[in-house]
Chains A and B, each alone.
Chain A
Amino acid sequence: MVNIYSVAISKPYTITASGDGYLKFWSNHITETDTAKENVKEVFVHKTGLHHVAVFEDFVDTTRIGLVATVSFSGEVFFYIINQTDGSISPIDVQLNGKGNRDSYWAIQFSKDEESKSHKFGATQATGVTKIWSFTIDSLTSATFTIHGEIKPQTKNFATSLDISYNKSLLATGFKNGDVVLTQTETSKPVYTFHNFGLKGSSQSSSTIRSVKFSPLGTLLAVASDSGSYGTITLYDTIYGENVGNFTIPSHSTQVHVGAYAHEGWVFEIDFNETGELLVSSGYDGKIRVWNVTTREREATIALSITDYDDDDIPIDENATSAAVGVKFIDKGIRGGAGGDSNDGLAIISLDRGIRWFREAGGI
């Protein structure tokens, strides 16, 4: 019954946030013979359930740590620190707002300053406001957040998604109405607004932005948005503000009259790999697609099925949907097992209550 809504990758753990209010930390240091289920730590966060999780990795003195942020369905943000030396996870108290000021947040994102001067944290709100904080991690038990800027939307519209590029000092906010606003992180000044128009006029009209991601260098912005009940992925150039292409699958269906799409269902999340050569997308149609960013061709498609699991705890329900709600690339050298050091991997979460890890084949 429990749904996983978000996944993030850190060096020691794959972290998932779920509807029962738990954060789960799945050990990445496992071999082929280990069972993932037996190498997991649980932390209960909030009774209303969790829908977003993000992680930030750095050193405090000589200890490698992970700062984890997660958002509850009631709109609160909670923080935890992973001590990567001993693998322990402990909650820390962070004041995001002044006292008595309770905002409800939705999407969150960290941005790391490679010169360790000013790390950023961003969070969106139902009213469309995006807030940016600067933060420092003072010790293994505390971090200080100070408000850096606030981006107000032109119209009140739900801010569904967010990403921050350190390299280009840009922030992208995706909205329910199909707009993506690109802003300068330092000054909170808007740079470009991209309009995405989904299928309208049908009974399922929708243009919702589901995910925005900068390429590692920040020169490209990938946007996943609804087109009716289909999902599209569009690439924008962040310097010139141009639409530079779409990722599409060839369609022979007579049912689609307008436009091309990437998935036969909403695209919930997209992610670049560490080189920026590949983009992965997860769809409500139960498919995971890996795209070549240069050629915009499909490199691979993974079809999820409820029978993927070999686990007696999950009853096989023929009506269950394997809709993929989240996906992240796993960089080389993070996840254990054969080929983990040399090949990219994927962590996929889906509405059949499961998490799956995949690895690029070959080269072992």
Chain B
Amino acid sequence: MKNIYNSFNNNSKQRTVHFHPDVSTQILNKRSPLEKLELIQNTITNGILANNSIILNIKPENKIGNNNNNNSKSIFKLPSNNLNESRQFAMCLKLISMLIENLKNKKITTKRDLYYQDVSLFENQSNVDKLINSICKSLGFNNLEIGAVAAQKGLCFGNIDIIDISNNDMKSFNIKDGCFLIPRINSNFKIIIKHPIDYILIVEKDSIFQLICDPLKMSNNLIITGKGFPDNNTKMFLNLLSKQYPQIPIYGFADIDPHGLNIMKQYKDGGDLNNCFMVHEMDQFHCQNLKLLDLLSNLHFLKTFDCLDFSLIDYQISFKLIESEFDDNDNNSIENEKFRNQLQRTMFFGKKAEIDLIKSNDDNKSNNKTDLIQFIDERIKISNGYEKN
């Protein structure tokens, strides 16, 4: 059986292994990830055994802000004079064999685990991430389908049940047990909040999350953090919550700097899906109800927080962010204005602030935890009053 996919050139004794979906999906459309990967592995090993030189053609990972390089390819040759190229080739082969092993055993691992299986070869985590990303894009699968996923990192604090509708599997969580890692979910999951709550609070940073998860003071609320940039799982969790409980207000609490605002924007509009792993069309990650807690207006933020100078990078992010934010004319004009207002003020003042530490008015450094919870309560009241105006 002649296979165009493994184009074989007799003259130069070269085999080109195309990862590119334009080639692979046409021929291998119906094949499973395992079959595709095995075919690639076989082609490579057969090529090596036959003493042919091999060209590996992988669709590269899109770089952020540069979506026009879809046509460029990254090509690794074997043998090669270039050490880096050979290493890339070896890494790719190793990853494919590990993925095949996992798929055979129906095992899903984290990308971190894959890295630890051969640290000396992969050198650092980002090499693994990039390759997995490229393989996913080239073959047209998402990372769950090829069995290598990011470790979940979203945390949640609240009394909720999470039900997988497809098999009625239920996980139950209670605030008495502290916060929990948001389990891997998909759009078929249902989330049940077990008793009435006042609001859902999205916190940028883990450190703040840990401070305010207090079963006594925060029992009427649900708190979520994605520990910095949220992963798709956390965003989808919030998306499901906001769809199933549209009446519960959702507030975002982030550092007063462009990074914090950018992270809140990720929750709000779901982030740029073109730069994510392959995702299914029905998956949704946005949460338009998210309201940013207004920390700058009506407040001498100077006196409340420790202020730091804006760096050049902060300005560069701000210049970009302030333009991107308002391209879409949705109905959230007040929220858009709040985002813009906060960005403008930080740029104008040239200052940013981290909100880990709220300065108390009296010098007796009292319990920072209580301060922070009180502060958030106040800001939410002011936010509500602002809406009424």
A contact residues vs B (CB 8 Å cutoff): 1, 3, 5, 19, 47-49, 51, 73-75, 104, 126-127, 156-158, 160, 176, 203-204, 206, 208, 229, 265-266, 284, 315, 317, 319-321, 325
Instruction: Report the minimum CB–CB distance from A231 to chain B (whole Å).
Output: 12
B13 interface residue, CB < 8 Å from A?
A: no
Interface of B is mostly: helix
Q: A3-B341, A3-B344, A19-B340 are in contact. List 18 more A-B contacts (CB 8 A).
A: A1-B341, A3-B345, A19-B344, A47-B326, A51-B347, A73-B318, A126-B316, A127-B312, A158-B312, A176-B310, A203-B306, A203-B307, A204-B306, A206-B309, A208-B309, A229-B303, A229-B307, A319-B298
Taking a contact as CB atoms under 8 Å apart, the answer to whether A5 and B344 are in contact is: yes
Which of A5, A126, A317 has the largest count of B CB atoms less than 10 A from its CB? A126
**Complex Cα gap A321–B343 (Å):** 18
Chain A residues whose CB sits within 8 angstroms of the CB of B340 once the complex forms: 19, 48-49
Q: Contact between A158 and B347 (Cβ–Cβ < 8 Å)?
A: no
Q: Which residue of A lies closest to B315 (CB)?
A: A126
Which of the residues B297, B298, B309, B319 comes within 8 Å of A104, measured between beta carbons? B319
Are B350 and A158 within 8 A (Cβ)? yes
Q: Are A49 and B351 in contact (CB under 8 A)?
A: no
Cα(A88)–Cα(B319), bound, Å: 31
Instruction: Give chain B's interface residue range (CB within 8 Å of chain A).
Output: 20 to 34
Contacts of B323 in A (CB 8 A): 48, 74
Q: How far is the CA of A239 from the CA of B345 in the complex (A)?
A: 36
Say yes or no: B319 contacts A126, CB within 8 Å. Answer: yes
Residues of A within 8 A of B298 (CB): 317, 319-321
Q: 10 closest A-B pairs (Cβ-Cβ)?
A: A319-B298, A126-B315, A203-B306, A48-B322, A74-B323, A19-B344, A73-B322, A47-B326, A104-B319, A49-B344
What is the CA–CA distance of A229 and B349 in the complex, to the nearest angstrom? 12
A47 to chain B: which residues have CB within 8 Å? 326
Complex CA gap A309/B62 in Å reads 54
Interface residues of B (CB under 8 A from A): 297-300, 302-303, 306-307, 309-310, 312, 315-316, 318-319, 322-323, 326, 337, 340-341, 343-345, 347-351, 382, 389
A51-B307 in contact (CB<8A): no
> B315: which A residues are within 8 A, CB to CB?
104, 126, 158
When distances are taken between beta carbons in the complex, the residues of chain B under 8 Å from A127 are 312
Q: Are B312 and A5 in contact (CB under 8 A)?
A: no
A157 — nearest CB in chain B belongs to which residue? B312
Partner among B297, B312, B389 whose Cβ is within 8 Å of the Cβ of A126: B312
> Contacting A51 at CB < 8 Å: which of B299, B302, B344?
B344
- Given A3-B345, A49-B344, A74-B323, verify A204-B312 contact (CB < 8 Å): no
**Given A1-B337, A3-B345, A319-B298: A206 touches B326 (CB 8 Å cut-off):** no
- The chain A residue with its CB closest to the CB of B320 is A74
Query: Is A160 touching B348 in the complex (CB atoms < 8 A)?
Result: no
Please determine whether B350 and A321 come into contact, CB atoms closer than 8 angstroms: no
Contact B350 A176 (CB under 8 A): yes
How far is B347's CA from A49's CA once the two chains are assembled, in angstroms?
A: 12
Closest residue of chain B to A19 (Cβ to Cβ) is: B344
Contact B389 A5 (CB under 8 A): no
A235 CB, min distance to chain B CBs, angstroms:
23
CA distance A213 to B111 in the complex (A): 57
**A311 → B minimal CB distance (Å):** 15
Using Cβ atoms and an 8 Å threshold, which residues of chain B touch A319? Answer: 298-299, 382
The distance from the CB of A279 to the nearest CB of chain B, in whole angstroms, is: 22
Determine the chain A residues whose CB is within 8 A of the CB of B303 once the complex forms: 229
Complex: how many Å from CA A180 to CA B310? 18
- Contact sample, A vs B, 6 pairs, CB 8 Å cutoff: A19-B341, A73-B319, A104-B315, A156-B312, A203-B307, A321-B300
Q: Which residue of B has the minimal Cβ distance to A6? A: B348
Residue among A104, A208, A315 making CB contact with B389, cutoff 8 Å: A315
Least Cβ distance of A353 to chain B in Å? Answer: 10
User: Judging by beta carbons under 8 Å apart, are B344 and A176 in contact?
Assistant: no
Closest chain B residue, CB of each to CB of A127? B312
B207 to chain A, nearest CB (A): 18
A176 touches B309 (CB 8 A): yes
Contacts of A284 in B (CB 8 A): 302
Query: A265 vs B349: C-alpha distance in the bound complex, in angstroms?
Result: 12
User: Are A75 and B319 in contact, CB atoms less than 8 angstroms apart?
Assistant: yes
Closest beta carbon of chain B to A167's beta carbon, Å: 30
Q: Give the chain B neighbours of A325 by CB distance below 8 A.
A: 348
CA–CA, A321 to B349, complex, Å? Answer: 15
B302 touching A74 by the CB < 8 A rule? no
